[in-house]
Amino acid sequence: MRYKSIFVMSVMALTPFFAEAQTTSKTPAKGTASKTTAKPAAKTSTAKTKAAASQPKKELAPAVKVQAPWRLAYNDPQLIVAVDTSQTERLPDGSYRAKLRWLYTKDQKIEDNKTYRMMVETRLLDCKKVRSKPISATVYDANGNKVSTFTTPDDELQYLLWGKRTPGSRNDNALAKSCDILSATRPKK
């Protein structure tokens, strides 16, 4: 799928926090000879190439891995979510001020008919009830260009209602997995 490979390439160009998965090649064992025979490249028709490119791949996640301090919280064929544990703080009430990165394989719509593929946000997470409040976010298009940004001032956070996700939804699962990571790592207070 063309968009999926473009998405992976744009993720690679956007940030050092994600990198292409390492692949290992088989090397001959000691004492054995490796024999290589050069073969002429097979001719492929453009129709076959286009047909192969249009075939959907099973998953995006295996092509991308998260690098420290980001920890992979959730992935499926449409979404990858990572938590930056070094930029996350546990608050006295037990909630977290967490930094999250959301990567989508398809454009996400926002105001003024704009779209984005990646969002880096800071969010209050109440892990006991799996609910959250947005603090700030910056969204980027598939080419890594900033599309939009917002910030909620700290003195206004108390007036925001806690948002809940639909149980079992991707977003609900992503926040729950993020909470699992945060509970296990015990970020600074």
* 98-155 pLDDT, tens digit each: 999 999 999 999 888 899 999 999 999 999 888 999 999 999 999 999 999 999 998 9
Instruction: Quote the pLDDT of residue 66.
Output: 62
The pTM of the full predicted model, rounded to 2 decimals, is 0.64
What are the Cα distances from residue 39, in Å, to 42, 43, 45, 107?
Answer: 8, 12, 18, 42
Instruction: Quote the pLDDT of residue 8.
Output: 36
Kindly report, residue by residue over 2-25, the tens digit of the pLDDT: 333 333 333 333 333 333 222 233
Say what percent of the chain tops pLDDT 90.
50
Per-residue pLDDT at 92 exceeds 50: yes
Return the residue matching tokens 């992503």.
174
| 39 or 142, higher pLDDT | 142
Instruction: Quote the pLDDT of residue 119.
Output: 96
Q: Token pair of 60, please?
A: 């995006």
Among residues 134, 100, 105, 135, which one has the least CA distance to residue 119? Answer: 100
Instruction: Quote the pLDDT of residue 146.
Output: 95
**Are 94 and 2 spatial neighbours (Cβ–Cβ below 8 Å)?**
no
Instruction: Quote the pLDDT of residue 73.
Output: 94
Mean of all residue pLDDT scores within the chain? 73
Mean per-residue pLDDT for 79-91? 94
Per-residue pLDDT at 29 exceeds 60: no
